[in-house]
């Protein structure tokens, strides 16, 4: 039976966890805002430089050369932005997952403690029922661990695919830039 102190401690722990997760979410948002401000500031400066360069162009061939020169860096910057964005999201997600896993592990421990207490106080002749409960709890824990491992593997595959896609996009932009330079 739970005492008032145990219930109060559980509520206090849940509130602390909630505030911890909220702080992690805000840290992620702060990083995102900082990244976007940095990109906006850099983009503004680059736009000014590009406008100056475009105004000093004397003919169509120079304009084509300018456009070609801007294509590769733009693709690389977009890829870098995507990587930063992904890193922020992945980092925030990792923190939340770590807290959730700790909470789940603690809950499993407490539940097993309740099961052990119930087993000790079980009436004689209920050994089969106790074994069934322990088996069910063990199966549930194993299933949960399998789901966790599968989710981690899926996340790893998704990250690898994201990185490969990013690399391919930059490579394609580089090839397009080379082709445009050859034709100009």
Here the tokens at position 56 are 């000093």
Contact 81, 39 (CB under 8 A): yes
Check residue 96 and give its pLDDT: 84
pLDDT of 166 higher than 90 = no
Q: What digits encode the pLDDT tens for the residues 31-77?
A: 999 999 999 999 999 999 989 988 898 988 888 888 888 877 888 88
Distance CA 145, CA 176 (A): 46
The helix (H) or strand (E) run that includes residue 124 is none
Say whether pTM exceeds 0.85.
Answer: no
Contact 137, 115 (CB under 8 A): yes
Check residue 112 and give its pLDDT: 75
């Amino acid at each position: 039976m739970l005492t008032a102190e145990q219930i109060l401690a559980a509520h206090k722990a849940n509130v602390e966890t909630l505030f911890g997760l909220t702080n992690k979410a805000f840290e992620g948002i702060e990083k995102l805002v900082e990244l976007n401000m940095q990109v906006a500031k850099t983009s503004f400066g680059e736009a000014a430089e590009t406008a100056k360069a475009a105004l000093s162009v004397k003919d169509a061939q120079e304009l084509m050369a300018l456009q070609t020169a801007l294509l590769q860096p733009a693709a690389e910057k977009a890829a870098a932005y995507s990587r930063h964005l992904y890193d922020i999201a992945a980092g925030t997600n990792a923190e939340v997952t770590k807290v959730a896993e700790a909470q789940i592990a603690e809950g499993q421990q407490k539940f097993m403690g309740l099961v052990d207490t119930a087993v000790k106080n079980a009436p004689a002749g209920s050994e089969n029922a106790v074994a069934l409960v322990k088996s069910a709890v063990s199966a549930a824990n194993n299933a949960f661990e399998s789901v966790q491992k599968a989710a981690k593997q899926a996340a790893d595959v998704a990250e690898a695919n994201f990185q490969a896609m990013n690399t391919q996009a930059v490579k394609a932009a580089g090839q397009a830039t080379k082709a445009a330079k050859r034709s100009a």
